[in-house]
Chain A
């Protein structure tokens, strides 16, 4: 079992913004009631919210060796349906208000405003014995590509996180990230492991009710992606009275140097911890951390590998780079390197394809003291509000919706540029992207160009498009 809830039986495991307080013993009991309805190890789609039901479902599935795919409950319905058809889960664990969307499936159990639905597929794909859960990396474009995480991946990453953040049962993290997002999930995973209390809310930093929940329940920590810290800065966070706050963590993309410095200084001045980290879903969650003591001195760095992990850099020929300040591709080795990807139902039976080694796709360098700095990215994706947005997938999504249109997607983190060859469609395309990907239209710009610049072999010349960036 991943979590031994009996150990903390009467401690409070979760408190929700709806006023629910659930002990570890109750969490165990509610999970068992749910699992009683599932006869054998199988695949379940779990539509996530930061709620008691979502945590009960997730922990129950994992502890009872049922494999969940965790998905954002706001995922576009068409994309969700195509994922369901691709992977043919045996059950769905969904918020009750989504019941109608799946009216063809029979509801067999409900609790905490969630519902367990039994699907009616006549096949179920075999599951690799060590497979614990599935997460998507680029959910917004509806790609069927999932990351396969094993039980030992999850447990080893939990142990590393507990160690480098020195977590104990007095912690009360408040949710600021979705549970289906690996970083948000790692906070839940690690805190349930040590008997802490998780404050569950889907409210955002922009809402008064978030902050009143934070204050009345005396949250001790939260995590944020770069955009979270931009918001906090604009909210003039340093002036807020939050006496219970001890630790802020950051991951999900590179924070600007100025914001890193600003929050590191704030932490130092107020005797708090600010811990910048680096990770990927492919490494379960975390790969490195920059300790709070070094946050100012090593501003802009992702720190060092987590306990039990190891970094190295390789050049384009795959040879090791040992000198400082030389850029190479970052390689990570550790027990939290996941099994690999799944692209279709048949892939769920695959075993470990990575053997503990992950070529990250990120370009990095090391300084003389052994601290790592991310300087770029090898693959074509952007991080928008902490989420990976695959540019090629977005392009094909647009092209298949608007036949005859040429399109190229490029940009920088938190701002995608979509170049199209038909100005009549700009508003329609904007709306389409927003609806399909759930991205706020602030995050991208649709620009009309006469033609997409290409080389002789038909490859888009993305550098020529950079002149259009703001």
Chain B
């Protein structure tokens, strides 16, 4: 699985959406991505890539796209 597939899959599983829908998601754009969903998302991303995110990045991860950008810091390349 490529990193992009892995990353997309985290959104698909956490928020129960289709892969095509996942790419356009932003915080609070769907019911499932509220503050509770956000914690699940971060935990799933940390698991999938075996990383530990900084506080600043956790609160900055406001969309699918933003997350990709932030993960570069943790040597996750897309």
Contact = CB atoms under 8 A, between A and B. Distances in A.
Interface of A: 204-208, 210-211, 227, 230-231, 234-237, 239-240, 385, 434-435, 438, 440-443
| 5 residue pairs, one from A and one from B, having the closest CB atoms | A440-B36, A204-B35, A206-B38, A206-B35, A208-B59
11 contacts: A204-B34, A204-B38, A205-B35, A206-B35, A206-B38, A240-B55, A438-B31, A440-B31, A440-B34, A442-B39, A442-B40
A234 B62 CA distance: 17
A438 B55 CA distance: 27
Nearest to A438: B31
Interface in B6-52: 16, 27, 31-32, 34-40, 42-43
Interface of B: 16, 27, 31-32, 34-40, 42-43, 54-56, 58-60, 62
Contacts of A385: 36
B27 to A, nearest CB: 7
Contacts of B56: 208
A425 to B, nearest CB: 15
B60 A440 contact: no
Contact of B39 (A208, A211, A231, A441): A231
A205 B35 CA distance: 8
Given A208-B60, A434-B31, A434-B32, A239 B55 contact: yes
Contacts of A235: 55, 58-59
Where chain A touches its partner, the secondary structure class is helix
Nearest to A435: B31
B60 A441 contact: no
Contacts of A204: 34-35, 38
A440 B34 CA distance: 7
A426 to B, nearest CB: 12
A231 B34 CA distance: 12
Contacts of B43: 234
Contacts of A210: 59
B12 to A, nearest CB: 14
